[in-house]
Amino acid sequence: MFEPIEIPFGCVMMFNVVDLKDGVTVSDVELALGEMCNVVKNTYGNDEGGFIAGQVYKYSGFVSKEGSVGATPDDKSAAAKIKQGELAIVTFWKSFEQHEKSHADKIFKEKFSALAEFCDDTYELGYEMLWQGVPE
């Protein structure tokens, strides 16, 4: 569960922002989130399913001024426009088509619906890998 992951070149990365309802904490969603992630890993983690690996992050409030251009979440004038969400779910897939097929599956939809009950908003953006590297 907490081992390092290896991401093969050419995969797609899905970035899901989860905005919890007011009053809902990360602790409140841990079971639903864990069950959903477990279903993805155990059901779609093969050649046919296409799931490679995933990670879940909790927003901690730090914003890089050095790595940002334009409005940031701590800029009062932009705060209402930027939804960073409380959680980010990052998953890696062999293809976007495999991701979409898995997420259309009944078993995934049941687990995702349980998490979505706690959310004001959730959206998932897809990215194609252009570069990766490690220190030499």
Instruction: Read off the pLDDT of residues 44-92 as tens digits, 9 standing for 90 and up.
Output: 999 999 999 999 999 887 777 777 777 666 655 554 445 668 999 999 9
Q: Does 2 fall in a domain?
A: no
Give me the percent of the chain exceeding a pLDDT of 70: 89
What does the pLDDT read at residue 80? 47
With b meaning 16 or more CB within 10 Å and e meaning fewer, what string describes 58-97?
eeeeeeeeeeeeeeeeeeeeeeeeeeebbbebebbbbeee
What does the pLDDT read at residue 50? 97
pTM, entire model: 0.87
Q: Does 118 fall in a domain?
A: yes
Residue numbers of the domain that contains 95? 12-61+82-128
Q: Does 135 fall in a domain?
A: no
Q: Domain with 52 in it: what CATH number?
A: 3.30.70.100
Question: Residue 113 pLDDT more than 80?
Answer: yes
Q: Does 52 fall in a domain?
A: yes
What does the pLDDT read at residue 76? 54
Q: H or E stretch including 110?
A: helix 106-116
Q: Does 119 fall in a domain?
A: yes
Please count the structural domains in the chain: 1
Q: Does 37 fall in a domain?
A: yes
Q: Does 95 fall in a domain?
A: yes
Q: Does 133 fall in a domain?
A: no
